[in-house]
Amino acid sequence: MTAIPRLLLIGASCLLVAATACGPGGTPDAKRSTTPKPTVEPLLKGGVTVAVKIDQPGFNVHSPAEHNYAGFDNDLSVYLARKLNYTASPTDVESKRREEVLRPGGAADLVIATYSITDSRRSKVDFAGPYLNTRQGLLVKKGYTGIKNRNDTAGKAICTAEGSTSDPNSTAISTDPEKTREAVRNLLHKDARVETRKDYRQCVEELRRGDFEAVWTDRVLLYGFAEVYDDVEVIKDFSTGELQRYGIGLPKGHPKDCARLVEGLRDFLQYRWKDAFRSHFPKLAELDRDFENTYKPDPSQLEGYSCQSDEPGKSG
């Protein structure tokens, strides 16, 4: 072989090696390049829309004349906004629409509205919490003695709100009124005459008029109405269902924001919870001197029920 063909062969070999090392397209990093993951826009910055109840005594009540909100949930919302450096803008939400407003393109970034953490809800949204625990009970007109236990609810007219929770380990929570009624009857008596209304305020108003014998929901919610109406009371030794754990709802896919909320809640539980509860539930705090042990979650529960967890007691 002459010198010139030998040089041509060597050159061709070098080109082949270079092409193999470079990969498709002839760029050295082509094989190592990856498609960049889309950046998740943080929720908790600037203005944050918070879905709240505007007519839930003890938790959040809106005064149009004074243009302000007042209640335990509102205190929590204000505390977190200051702690995490964002501006909270409240918007009204009905119980049955809380998952809906957190969907992509929905009306809210967060829900702070007596929102119980349940398996069925956790499949649709994330939670940071709990920030308050409660069992369920019955509100009646003051002096009424017709209900003392579950069997006494047979044949009684009982009201609850659409989209309310039953057993937190159940998947029966639904916007279907009949499923809600069935879930409540399972916790009371199968022959209880359960009806649903748009919200608990409407139930309580009809109770006070004599249209119902009781209103069923979380005991602490019922005590909120007993704080503002002197003619109703919570049946003292009556409770049903499993423990309800209130959490902050947020859309799935925001683990960093959820973790920030958890840390904010940890501070709230330590530094603000007791005073906020006593401020908005003064009669209950006086009635139950051990209200912290009854209603305040242990901070260790935050890890078990927060942030992309689909199973109770397991964090994501």
* CATH number of the CATH domain containing 51: 3.40.190.10
Residue 86 is assigned to a structural domain of this protein: yes
Same domain, 121 and 56: yes
Residue 76 is assigned to a structural domain of this protein: yes
Same domain, 67 and 160: no
Residue 27 is assigned to a structural domain of this protein: no
Same domain, 153 and 229: yes
Q: What is the residue range of 79's domain?
A: 47-133+244-293
Q: What is the C-alpha separation between 81 and 129, in angstroms, rounded?
A: 16
Same domain, 112 and 61: yes
Same domain, 196 and 214: yes
Q: Over its length of 316 residues, how does the chain's per-residue pLDDT go in tens digits?
A: 444 444 334 444 443 334 444 444 444 444 444 554 555 688 999 999 999 999 999 999 998 887 899 999 999 999 999 999 999 999 999 888 999 999 988 999 999 999 999 988 999 999 999 999 999 999 999 999 999 999 999 999 999 988 766 444 444 445 567 877 888 899 999 999 999 998 899 999 999 999 999 999 999 999 999 999 999 999 999 999 889 999 999 999 999 999 999 999 999 999 999 999 999 999 999 999 999 999 999 999 999 999 964 444 444 4
Residue 19 is assigned to a structural domain of this protein: no
Same domain, 248 and 237: no
Q: What is the C-alpha separation between 252 and 127, in angstroms, rounded?
A: 9
Q: Do residues 162 and 177 lie in contact, with contact meaning Cβ atoms separated by under 8 Å?
A: yes
Q: Assign residue 228 a region (left: φ > 0; alpha: ψ between -120 and 50; beta: otherwise).
A: alpha
Residue 175 is assigned to a structural domain of this protein: yes
This model's pTM is above 0.85: no
Q: How many domains does the chain fold into?
A: 2
Same domain, 122 and 154: no
Same domain, 213 and 265: no
Burial of residue 10 (CB within 10 Å: 0-12, 13-18, 19+) is exposed
Our CA dihedral for 196, 201, 202, 205, rounded to 10 degrees, sits at 120
